[in-house]
Amino acid sequence: MKSSELGLSAMYRILKKSGAHRVSDESADELRRIIEDVALAIAKSAVDMSAHAGRKTVRGEDVKLAAKPFTKF
């Protein structure tokens, strides 16, 4: 199993804050996997955007723009 960048306890807190009374280990682990996949896709897109703009530094605006398809606001 690969190492995770995100803590499992944070996933429990997110699920609890969303209204869950009880959280299974499996649900917290699955949420972590999905969030990491989405975060990796956003990060790759942001890196591509900064490279396209001729920069080596990824800026907040790159991340915001890359995250647009994943957010509802």
Provide the whole-model pTM. 0.85
Task: Please determine, looking at this structure, whether the domain spanning 26-73 carries the CATH number 1.10.20.10.
Answer: yes
- Please give the average per-residue pLDDT across 14-23, as a whole number: 97
Nearest C-alpha neighbor of 31 from the set 9, 11, 6: 11
Residue 3 — pLDDT band, cuts 50, 70, 90? confident
Q: Record the tokens describing residue 58, joined without a space.
A: 């990824």
Segment 47-67, tens digit of pLDDT: 999 999 999 999 999 999 999
pLDDT of residue 73: 60
pLDDT of residue 1: 52
Q: Where are the domains of the chain?
A: 26-73
Cβ pair 47, 72 in contact under 8 A: no
